Amino acid sequence: MIICSCANVSDKKIHEALAGGARTLADLQQSLGVSMKCGRCKESVLGEISAFYGSGPGPQGSGIPQHLLPQGL
């Protein structure tokens, strides 16, 4: 399924990037170009990151797994 239509990135490509070491939205933006134009896919991309790492959203609903956030946030 296409997650980011602007960059034509599927959930499969996101999973491959995460399996290859990507950890954050910024990592996926750099490697795949997701969420760089219109931003409509941002929540979906963050959801894919959370689902991949099996964690709920971090503080303020960031969608970033808690163990990947710096201490003190």
For residue range 25-35, list pLDDT tens digits in order: 999 999 999 99
User: Domain 2-68 adopts which CATH fold?
Assistant: Arc Repressor Mutant, subunit A (1.10.10)
Report the alpha-carbon distance of residue 57 to residue 38 in Å, rounded: 22
pLDDT at 63 over 70: no
With contact defined as beta carbons under 8 Å apart, do 40 and 59 qualify? Answer: no
Place of tokens 């034509």: 8
* pLDDT, mean of residues 62-73: 56
Mean pLDDT of the chain: 84
Element (H, E) at 31: helix 25-32
pTM: 0.73
Report the alpha-carbon distance of residue 31 to residue 28 in Å, rounded: 5
Q: What is the pLDDT of residue 2?
A: 96
How many residues make up the chain in this entry?
73
User: In the chain, where are the structural domains located?
Assistant: 2-68
